Amino acid sequence: MIVVNFKTYPEATVNDQPIKLAITCQEVFNTYHIPIILCVQATDIFKVTQSVSLPVYAQHIDPYEPGKHTGYVSALAIRQNGALGVMINHSEHRIGMELIQKNIAAAKSEGLKTLVCVENALEAETVDHFNPDMIALEDPVLIGGTVSIVANPEGKQKVEEFVSKHLQALPLVGAGVKDKEDVAVSLQLGAKGVLLASGVTLAPDPKTVLSNLCEGFAS
């Protein structure tokens, strides 16, 4: 699968840009039939889910029951707006193990899928005990860059160590993933999919980039 994180880039925020990008992802899915998950800002969940049939995830939730929690985002709220899941603990919004566990529990209480981001295999092993649906390994040094985590021996070793944990959760990899070669290598190392953001959201032609990524699943 491919997980596309829209982050808060203007290219995925301004006017109808979130919808346009989501529709592009839908078109690519319709052609290649590689599952694509969209991680969008909470404010865009409803309009994106109304525009495409792809699963839409929130980029974050807070583990609180609905009530006196002004400024927080509840699992109930994102589900009511059409989200099917949530990304937790992205490297740009790390929350620690205690909150990871609570957020997974909160998401599960609303029937939401969970994708938890980790920085290394040890974190992945701990998080796996909380029973998330997916765990994504992202090297924080490479996020947003042009060098893929699987483009050098050190990065490949990190992925191999991550996969060797034989997690119950589906193992994904991210950080610098940009083309079909990165996808193919990730799969060869044992990952089941990839997570990326800027490689798609900031691309002059996101459809071409996504199509290229999908071709990596057939390599």
Could you list the active site residues? 90, 138
- Are the C-beta atoms of residues 6 and 197 closer than 8 Å to each other? yes
* Of 219, 200, 217, 150, residue with least CA distance to 18: 200
Pull the structure tokens for residue 87: 């990304």
- Are the C-beta atoms of residues 100 and 130 closer than 8 Å to each other? yes
Q: How far is residue 206's CA from residue 24's CA, in Å, rounded to a whole number?
A: 7
Pull the structure tokens for residue 182: 């990165």
Report DSSP state, residue 127: H
Pull the structure tokens for residue 152: 């050098």
110-132 in b/e burial notation, b at 16+ Cβ within 10 A? bebbbbbbbbebebbbebbebeb
